[in-house]
Structure 1
């Protein structure tokens, strides 16, 4: 479990994946999102510009990110 402390109102999903070092580049993040590898609050989500906010949970490659 990764606890990610949000520093504003939201963080775009692609930036979150990069900030937690689960992907190396923004391009890689876009690919994994469009291929349906990322779950947002329990559901697969294909939106690259999804605004992730406090209380949300993102799952990717057996890692869970909780936004605090």
Structure 2
């Protein structure tokens, strides 16, 4: 599992997907989310604007990243 450091205010799911290299663009992130291919803390989430906090684990395409 890879750790991804974000600022104090957290980060939105769509932004994290791009930052972690799970999506190449916002459009890519939107497509992955719409297809139900992204989980947050082991639950499918389709909201690109979901606010993530430290400790949240995002999984997509066989990779997992943890917000720190």
What TM-score comes out, normalization by structure 2 length? 0.93
Aligned-pair CA distance for 1:48 = 1.3
1:41 maps to what in 2? 41
Measure, in 1, the Cα distance between the counterparts of 2:44 and 2:29: 14
User: Over the residues paired in the alignment, what is the CA RMSD in angstroms?
Assistant: 0.8
Measure, in 2, the Cα distance between the counterparts of 1:8 and 1:26: 22
Q: Which runs of 5+ in 2 are unaligned?
A: none
Q: How many residues align?
A: 68
Moved over 4 A (4+): none
Instruction: Encode CA deviations 1:2-51: one digit per residue, 9 max, x unaligned.
Output: 10112122101010010011111101101101110000001001111110
Q: Is the 8 A contact 1:6 1:67 kept in 2?
A: yes
Q: Which runs of 5+ in 1 are unaligned?
A: none
What TM-score comes out, normalization by structure 1 length? 0.93
Measure, in 2, the Cα distance between the counterparts of 1:58 and 1:22: 10
